[in-house]
Structure 1
Amino acid sequence: MTTAPRTSQAMVIWIVGLAVYFVAVFHRSSLAVAGLLAAERFEITASQLSTFVVLQLLIYALMQVPVGLMVDRFGPRRVLLTGTLVLTCAQLSFAFADNYAWALSSRFFVGVGDAMTFVCVLRLVNSWFPARRIPLMTQLTGVLGQLGAVAAAVPMTWALSSLGWTRAYLATAAIGAVLLVATLIVVRDSPQARTTAGPLLGLAGIKDSLWASWEHPGTRLGFWMHFSTQFSATVLGLLWGYPFFVQGQGLGSASAGLLLTIMVLSIMGFGPAFAWLITRWPWHRSTLVLLVIAAIAGMWALVLSWPGTAPFWLLVLLVVVCGMGGPASMVGFDLGRTSNPVVRVSTATGIINQGGFFASLTTVALIGLLLDWRTPDGVTGYPAEAFTWAMSAQFLLWGLGALQIWRYRRKGRNRLLRDDPDLWSRQSGRPVPGT
């Protein structure tokens, strides 16, 4: 196979994998515009409705390590096919669900299928693209895949109003069926084989693989990078952004929607820029992430301390800076890739991918608890003062994450010096000590 056909084949395989991830995010987010209809259809309360989101995120996070182990064992193609099949069947089930228990179980399996996509696509990127292009392709995968959340808004709103609940969700399941066939035909694990398989691991082998991945300070550094950078934008986009802008800052619904759209555009814009930076200066990947954390925390401090409601231009700056957190979280995967051998890279990716989602779940819960605590009985909606308290909970996670990043970047650099002094010297620009 010549270089040109292999490059074009790599792009086709990546596009199909990206489409699966895009649709997984679409499925994950499709309930966002159907909340009121779901509450009416299943006759549930607001807290029961929020359980859909919490359950999906929790299952997604808990599945990351098992999925990473499966990808290392069975190859990304098989796991991606399985995830696509589970997602499609789950959406098909959700289309016909007519009670809360049935709907909740369907969303449980949406979370399972969703969890089996992203790690697979990153493994395909690592197998099909040269090392110098992997950071860019990783950023593009994360950025373009997340557009599924944007795509879920307008099309699903139209479909639900025009086609009704069942036919709208049947249409989304049909998209998954088409991608299942495309994945089966197009995707190959590597240029050398359609499907690959790692060594058979018993319980002892799984334990050793997990420990070897987690033991490496590069994996832990990647975990805390993902933990510290992703959650603020995720919390805004997934649940609390709209209430904060409308009730906490007194904006109209159109302005709140515009701010959330700007945040998505910010995520898209910073992705390629960060990929170029970490490719050019890999030694300073953790420095870039620490600067992003400082910028996000600084903008939140300014907005929350502003007398009265913050001006619109400051809220625009807030969402733009928060959008930097998405691409910054992807830097963690680059640490995992360069810190682990290829047979463990998906396991390490799964471990790292848990960080941001656990942080998001924690933040969502803390904000909800603090809002309830600071809202007087009998008051409709949440007062601005309650949002100031609630959104300040984020500083606890940034503080913890920044401290851990500082610790593990030192350990990671010392480990690199021990394992590969020449690479340490090239990346740091300093001579190896003692030479």
Structure 2
Amino acid sequence: MNAPRAWLIWTIGVLAYLVAVAQRTSFGVSGLEATERFHASAAAISFFTVLQLLVYAGLQIPVGLLVDRFGSRAMIASGAVLMGLGQLQLAYADAVPAGVLGRVLVGAGDAMTFVSVIRLVPIWFAPARVPLVTQLTGMSGQLGQLISVVPFALVLHSAGWNTAFLGLSSLSALAVVLVLALLRDVPPGHPPRESAQGLRATGVTLARAWKQPGTRLGLWCHFTVQFSGNVFAMSWGYPFLVSAQGLNPGTVSALMGLFVVTSILVGPLFGTFVARHPMRRSAMVLLITAATALAWAAVLLLPTRAPLWLLALLVVALAIGGPGSMIGFDFARTFNPSHRIGTATGIVNVGGFVAALLTIYLVGLILDLLHTSGFSGGELYGLAPFRIALSVQFLFLLVGTVLILMTRRKVRRQMAAQGVHVPPLLVSLANQRRRRVELRRERLAKQRSSTP
């Protein structure tokens, strides 16, 4: 493959993804201003982001099917157009319905971007480089969050709502021009895409991707480690740090910057780890899950405001979840043929965003319930109500962990049946679990046979 051309194509794709991340996270920075602009409650403001994520998650599988059919260039350009229109709509919105429409367009355009960029990686790069380049993709895209927490936040507070969101809309216009001018779907000489499939064939492709246990393992890994960072960055992190923890906006921007920098530094390490230790991918995901749970517990169990160093540790733990969730896409890649990668990636990418939108909505709902009940003492975004509302995350961390363990067992059984090498320790553990299940079934059978 032509390495310089491959890196150029990748750079254009990453720039489009960077712009998409800036559009996605911009509303989290403007949450307090949105409450005043739209005269809305916490639940109503959370609904903006919930609906955006609902659209994003709901389109992941259709987008995966479409990118396998039409290619990345068309999908990335279309997504940038929708996001630009969405931010243009939001710039002039002064009522909740108009603002929600803008975020729906942003969510739809955002949904088309990441899966399409990820699909370029195995086409343009050698297999040995794919894990690292995949991590670099996620890492580089997170720079878009720096756009939302630094220049966008400065423009928002100095020049106002309209100017800030018009600026984001112009970034999408720039992305459209670059993608159409420079990005190509496949290298020269690469086999052309398959002809368009009918609905039945499309359904078969989707069913085969879903039935593959490796795809589902990637889905639950993404579900478990990605959502908490999204909840923090896209919706409740900024109000929590400013109103509940009493930090000034400058310090909060620095912590959000730490979030991005940590993701950038950790991403290549995870990519190298995955390439060298593919049989330890799920173990790494479980370790990240435990770190996330411990960090939140340390902050939320304190009866008073957390010290800055502990909040910084929380931010670092949440930031690690972003690169950690990219491991899920590696499962999709390694357990599916090339013509199904877009579909499998779309399935995996649903996980973290579904968990995030449910959590964002529940946090807003709990905050409103505590406020109306008088528990919050008149503070909608006080420390005590936030401590209770954010604890809902532990439920999703627990559910995700259980599902990872269950699906991983199926993947290892499938690999052993296909003659794929599995480390002896993992084989031994799987055999022990299987033997315990068999003994339990034998005991139940004996009990039934002995019952008169």
TM-score (norm 1): 0.89
Alignment of 1:11-160 (within 5 A): 11-35=7-31, 38=34, 44=40, 46-97=42-93, 99-160=95-156
Q: CA deviation at 1:180?
A: 1.6
Relative to structure 1, the CA distance from residue 199 to residue 148 in structure 2 (aligned partners, 3 Å threshold; closer, same or farther) is same
Q: CA deviation at 1:103?
A: 3.4
Q: Deviations over 1:23-64 (max 9, x none)?
A: 111222333444455555555555443332222111111110
Name the residue aligned to 2:230. Answer: 234
Relative to structure 1, the CA distance from residue 237 to residue 177 in structure 2 (aligned partners, 3 Å threshold; closer, same or farther) is closer
Unaligned stretches of 5+ residues in structure 1? none
Name the residue aligned to 1:297. Answer: 293
Q: Could you tell me which amino acid in structure 2 is paired with residue 227 of structure 1?
A: F
Rounded to whole Å, the distance in 2 between the matches of 1:366 and 1:98 is 25
Q: Could you tell me which amino acid in structure 2 is paired with residue 135 of structure 1?
A: P
Aligned to 1:335, which of 327, 331, 334?
331
Q: Could you tell me which amino acid in structure 2 is paired with residue 428 of structure 1?
A: P
Name the residue aligned to 2:415. Answer: 416
Name the residue aligned to 2:406. Answer: 407
Alignment of 1:178 with 2:174, yes or no, is yes
Q: Could you tell me which amino acid in structure 2 is paired with residue 327 of structure 1?
A: P
Relative to structure 1, the CA distance from residue 104 to residue 283 in structure 2 (aligned partners, 3 Å threshold; closer, same or farther) is same
Q: CA deviation at 1:285?
A: 0.4
Name the residue aligned to 2:383. Answer: 384
Q: Could you tell me which amino acid in structure 1 is paired with residue 300 of structure 2?
A: L
Rounded to whole Å, the distance in 1 between the matches of 2:368 and 2:153 is 30
Rounded to whole Å, the distance in 1 between the matches of 2:333 and 2:380 is 45
Q: Deviations over 1:146-175 (max 9, x none)?
A: 221221233224444665554544443333
Rounded to whole Å, the distance in 1 between the matches of 2:27 and 2:191 is 34
Relative to structure 1, the CA distance from residue 313 to residue 91 in structure 2 (aligned partners, 3 Å threshold; closer, same or farther) is closer
When structure 1 is superposed on structure 2, of 214-223 and 232-241 the one drifting more is 232-241
Q: CA deviation at 1:236?
A: 1.5
Conserved in 2, the CA contact under 8 Å of 1:77 and 1:195? no
Q: CA deviation at 1:246?
A: 4.1
Q: Deviations over 1:7-28 (max 9, x none)?
A: 0001111111111111111222
When structure 1 is superposed on structure 2, of 390-399 and 295-304 the one drifting more is 295-304
Relative to structure 1, the CA distance from residue 193 to residue 23 in structure 2 (aligned partners, 3 Å threshold; closer, same or farther) is farther
Aligned to 2:314, which of 293, 314, 318?
318
Q: CA deviation at 1:386?
A: 2.9
Rounded to whole Å, the distance in 2 between the matches of 1:49 and 1:197 is 42
Name the residue aligned to 1:266. Answer: 262
Alignment of 1:364 with 2:357, yes or no, is no
Q: CA deviation at 1:67?
A: 0.3
Rounded to whole Å, the distance in 1 between the matches of 2:156 and 2:12 is 27
Q: Deviations over 1:57-115 (max 9, x none)?
A: 11111110000000111111221222222223333344444554333323211111111
Name the residue aligned to 2:437. Answer: none
Identity, % of aligned positions: 44
Name the residue aligned to 1:245. Answer: 241
When structure 1 is superposed on structure 2, of 358-367 and 211-220 the one drifting more is 358-367
Rounded to whole Å, the distance in 1 between the matches of 2:38 and 2:263 is 35
Rounded to whole Å, the distance in 2 between the matches of 1:366 and 1:165 is 27
Aligned to 2:423, which of 415, 419, 428?
428
When structure 1 is superposed on structure 2, of 179-188 and 197-206 the one drifting more is 197-206
When structure 1 is superposed on structure 2, of 162-171 and 211-220 the one drifting more is 162-171
Alignment of 1:200 with 2:203, yes or no, is no
When structure 1 is superposed on structure 2, of 351-360 and 187-196 the one drifting more is 187-196
Aligned-partner SS, 1:392: helix
Q: Could you tell me which amino acid in structure 2 is paired with residue 217 of structure 1?
A: P
Alignment of 1:187 with 2:158, yes or no, is no
Relative to structure 1, the CA distance from residue 169 to residue 320 in structure 2 (aligned partners, 3 Å threshold; closer, same or farther) is closer
Conserved in 2, the CA contact under 8 Å of 1:64 and 1:115? yes
Relative to structure 1, the CA distance from residue 168 to residue 430 in structure 2 (aligned partners, 3 Å threshold; closer, same or farther) is closer
Name the residue aligned to 1:397. Answer: 396
Root-mean-square deviation (CA), in Å?
2.7
Q: Could you tell me which amino acid in structure 1 is paired with residue 312 of structure 2?
A: V
Aligned-partner SS, 2:349: helix
The number of residue pairs the alignment matches comes to: 425
Aligned-partner SS, 1:197: coil
Unaligned stretches of 5+ residues in structure 2? 429-452
Conserved in 1, the CA contact under 8 Å of 2:89 and 2:101? no
Rounded to whole Å, the distance in 2 between the matches of 1:28 and 1:96 is 18
Relative to structure 1, the CA distance from residue 102 to residue 7 in structure 2 (aligned partners, 3 Å threshold; closer, same or farther) is same
Q: CA deviation at 1:206?
A: 2.2
Rounded to whole Å, the distance in 2 between the matches of 1:249 and 1:162 is 24
Name the residue aligned to 1:217. Answer: 213
Rounded to whole Å, the distance in 2 between the matches of 1:240 and 1:210 is 34
Relative to structure 1, the CA distance from residue 36 to residue 89 in structure 2 (aligned partners, 3 Å threshold; closer, same or farther) is same
